[in-house]
Amino acid sequence: MTLRQLNIVPIVLLAAYIPLSHFYPVIEWWGLGVVFLLQLSVLVYGCMNISSGYFFRALCKAETKEQVIALSFDDGPHPGRTDNILDTLKKYNVPATFFCIGKNIPGNEPLLQRINSEGHIIGNHSYSHDFWFDLFGSKKMLADLQQMDEEVKRVIGQKPVLFRPPYGVTTPNMSNVVLKGKYIPIGWSIRSLDTTAKDKQKLLLRITGQMKPGDIILLHDSIEMTADMLPELIETIRNKGFRIERLDKMLKVNAYA
């Protein structure tokens, strides 16, 4: 049973509750409350967890038995941070995917060009990354993503296809936008939580302690600790027998239209 199919449970409970309430009126209010809370819990979980596939299917890992994983970085480009990460990736000959924010591109075109020229790929992480992005209507949301597409195309001459929703939140409107824009939604299977991490070794252990074949690791190139940890992360991944593959190759999808 999928998460969306769980919606039938509250409906069944409500159907059973209605006749029962005639005989046991005392359960009338709390019975309705239980049904409502169950429905709301399923909805909130589906929205907040991209891997749930509640509104649409996102690729969150590769179906493989090979000891292979992919690195992804959100929220760039950031001068001084993205540069350091690119230096490390180049040193270790490791490919990665950068889900960039469109508004960060003007003035940082050389960074985007470097990401592309050094063999990494660029994905769409929206133009605005607005706090209320998830509440945008379909038309406004699509325009936001297309504005990001145009920024990338302006700089490297290619239109990104891979899309990672801001905050990893999904909505019905986003489902329509993904379909209209012909995007491939990308999630993750290991969320590093590097944006809130205080200890580099704990962050490293959180990532490497749960790795499985086909995992997609979510990091941020806006975080100094992430850049500092990256060499040790790459070495640990390799010491555990894993190969780091570029996300589009691991998932067998096209990165650009």
Q: CB of 183 within 8 A of CB of 163?
A: yes
Q: Is 152 helix (H, G, I), strand (E, B) or coil?
A: helix
Residue 133 has φ and ψ, to the nearest 5°, of -50, -40
Q: Given the residues 74, 134, 144, 248, select the one marked as catalytic.
A: 74
Closest CA to 230 of 42, 83, 26, 51: 83
The radius of gyration of the chain's CA atoms, rounded to the nearest angstrom, is: 21
Q: Given the residues 129, 220, 221, 248, select the one marked as catalytic.
A: 220
Cα–Cα distance for residue pair 216/198, rounded to 1 Å = 22
Tokens standing for 124?
């769409």
Tokens standing for 132?
């209320």
Query: Is 220 one of the catalytic residues?
Result: yes
Query: Is 74 one of the catalytic residues?
Result: yes
Active site residues: 74, 220
